[in-house]
Amino acid sequence: MAAARPANRLLARRCAQVCGALAATVALVLPTAVEPPAHAAPAVVGGQSVGIADSPWVVALSSRAQFGPGRSGQFCGGVLVGPDKVLTAAHCLARGGLDVPYEEADDLMVIAERGDMESPAGTEVPLAGMWVNPGYDTGTHAGDVAVLTLAHPLPAHSAILMAQAGDRAYTPGTTAEVYGWGDTTGYGDYSPTLRAARVQVLPDATCQEAYAGSPDGTFTADSMLCAGDPGGGHDACQGDSGGPLVARGRLIGLVSWGTGCGQAHQPGVYTRISGVLSGIRPPL
């Protein structure tokens, strides 16, 4: 069985920074073997390059101290929801991802307006504060959300609207896009440039069947939603955690977890934004 994304996503990202040519091999054994995704393409998984100017709300989380200088130290994604507020996944800041408590990662920052992580373009913004959901369940992955407060604001027009409960964007069958700089194949092939993959919002019943108390996590509809391609081949992967799932121009999810990358009948699981707004109520 392929490994759950929260652990394998960050572990594989760290290996890619420090293991060089061995990254793809090590990604296969951390913590269990990762099967190649069906119909994988050189993109998020099954996606294509996109311009940061067309999606300015997509940001990267960076720590060069923990992940090295390559690719600007990017290790997770995030999404700008206000001039000085970024949403990301709680598991991105867990000790398993950073090796140190997030409070001690002094160089954590958000990189905005940089589509190519190997370029100096854009803005690197230090943090003024971090809130990690204290109710985040590392076993089921419920409540996988964190809020980063920027030390100085970004342009307000760069932020994206969040979809409230009842928004049509959550309707099963709706086309959505997931964004990130993560693994493009499931073998540790990280993209230096921003990619997006087109997926479908899936019925809750599909997700409950796929992840009904699986070893990788437990799907709960009030705080999660699933999106993917029924036949596989389009998905988020390691390094995309915390990044946005967008439908009808609004943020509906954050990349959270799943089994493998782009596998049929194993869709990606996302933190449901309406659940964040109505249930968790973070300091936005």
Residues 53-88 pLDDT 10s: 999 999 999 999 988 999 999 999 999 999 999 999
* Type of residue numbered 257: W
Q: pLDDT digits over 102-146, tens only?
A: 888 889 999 999 999 999 999 999 999 999 999 999 999 999 999
* Type of residue numbered 55: S
Query: Judging by beta carbons within 10 Å of its beta carbon (0-12, 13-18, 19+), is residue 69 exposed, middle or buried?
Result: exposed
Q: How far is CA 139 from CA 95, 111, 127, 170, in A?
A: 15, 30, 28, 25
Q: Mean per-residue pLDDT for 212-227?
A: 89
Question: Contact, 244 vs 179, CB < 8 A?
Answer: yes
Q: Residue 44: pLDDT band by 50, 70, 90 thresholds?
A: low
Beta-bridge partners for 68:
none
- List residues with catalytic annotation: 91, 144, 241
CA–CA separation, 208 and 132 (whole Å): 26
Mean pLDDT of all residues belonging to the chain? 83
pTM of the model: 0.85
Q: According to the model, what pLDDT value does residue 22 have?
A: 27
